[in-house]
Amino acid sequence: MELIRTQQISWRRYLHQNPELSFQEFETTKFLSKEIAKLGLKILPLKLETGLLAELKGTSDGPTIAVRSDIDALPIIEQTGLSFKSKNAGKMHACGHDVHMSTVLGTAAVLSQLKERIRGNVRFIFQPAEELPPGGARPMIENGCLNDVRMIFGLHVDPGVKTGSIGLRDGATMGAVYDFDIIIHGIGGHAARPHNAVDAIATAAEVIESIQKVVSREVDPIAPVVVTFGQISGGTARNIIADEVRLVGTFRTLSKEAVKQVPKLIKRTATSVCKARGARAEIVPIATYPVLSNSVEVNRIIARSFTSLFGKKGIEETPQVLGGEDFACYLEQVPGAMFRLGIRNTSIKADKPWHSSEFIVDENAMVVGTATLAGAVLDALDEVG
């Protein structure tokens, strides 16, 4: 594995230095295609400008198992001080997707050397645009990435888990997401004559306050639900009553009932408040992701692979969070699971949260992730074959 480790570090540092934003991962796609071709895998047709779909065919017929990595970076100015920091101004792999790609490439390399043990096929999904709603998972699915797939594996680095360990959780693990905008249409006018206008800003304030009461008074308090407005924009001058305001919001939950209920309540509340004030509400859905729910069976395969290599003491229980992840879209279609790959190492300051400009990972984690994935894929091929 030492040879793989050295190669992975090289891959990862190149990718870290050359981050690209969602649906702009052109050079990243070229790099991945070149490395996958070197490993002798077949590159499958994909009607997308970025992203890659490749397959390793075994020596006999059998099921198809998929492994997924995301490939995009974030619009962040890197402040790590690393010798291989980003060369692309204002762009950074601050969520570990460079590690994901290198770990999955490593898995492809290991399995290509064990081809005689593969009874079936292994499909590698390098997905664009995980960071940008509505995400790249659904376009990949529409392009057939899950055709004939029986099971799918994913991973995500976790700065809360120490290097050498992984995190697993059965069932609901990450939140469903409903991203939406509310455009409030009022009537502009002079600040000194509010009775001749409909103030979109004042109405927006009421809409925000009223929607928070949807969470506290109309949703089962046992269900984890949060609605956040992260941006509000409108108005042009202090003495002009704004005729339009845009509220940029997101709703998160682990409750399947709330997924159906809350968007309707948001629309009802915004529409009613605006009507009461003589304004009009326009609801613009931006993106929806389902709850990320890990298969018990697939988690068991991951746990068995990790334990056989590193021991069961290195497995932690992943806490439930309301962060969204479009890997959940794959899990709506086929059984699968996403495990957390520990990257925490305080001695090298690899302890900053995701999306931090100082985000650093312990590169030793990649071998752990690759070994776990390779073992899990081989196990899955035998189990579902």
The contacts of residue 144 (CB under 8 Å, 6+ apart) are none
Positive or negative: CA dihedral 126, 307, 57, 8: positive
pLDDT of the residue at 284: 98
The dotted CATH code for 176-289 is 3.30.70.360
Q: What angle do CA 370, 144, 93 make, to 5 degrees?
A: 45
The class level of CATH for 2-174+291-384 reads alpha beta
Instruction: Report d(CA 66, CA 274) in Å as an integer.
Output: 48
pLDDT of the residue at 385: 72
Strand ranges of the sheet holding 280-289, from the earlier edge strand across to the other edge: 225-234, 244-253, 176-185, 280-289
Establish whether domains 2-174+291-384 and 176-289 are of one fold.
no
Say if residue 340's pLDDT is above 80. yes
pLDDT (mean) for 324-344: 98
Say if residue 380's pLDDT is above 70. yes
> Global pTM?
0.94
pLDDT (mean) for 46-66: 96
pLDDT (mean) for 80-87: 98
pLDDT of the residue at 173: 97
pLDDT (mean) for 234-257: 97
Distance of CA 160 to the CA centre of its chain: 17
CA-atom Rg of the chain in angstroms: 23
Instruction: Report d(CA 378, CA 111) in Å as an integer.
Output: 8
pLDDT (mean) for 185-206: 98
pLDDT band at 246, cuts 50/70/90? very high
Q: Are residues 62 and 148 in contact, defined by beta-carbon separation less than 8 angstroms?
A: no
pLDDT band at 9, cuts 50/70/90? very high
pLDDT tens digit sequence for 276-307: 999 999 999 999 999 999 999 999 999 999 99
pLDDT of the residue at 1: 67
pLDDT of the residue at 343: 98
Domain extents for the chain? 2-174+291-384, 176-289
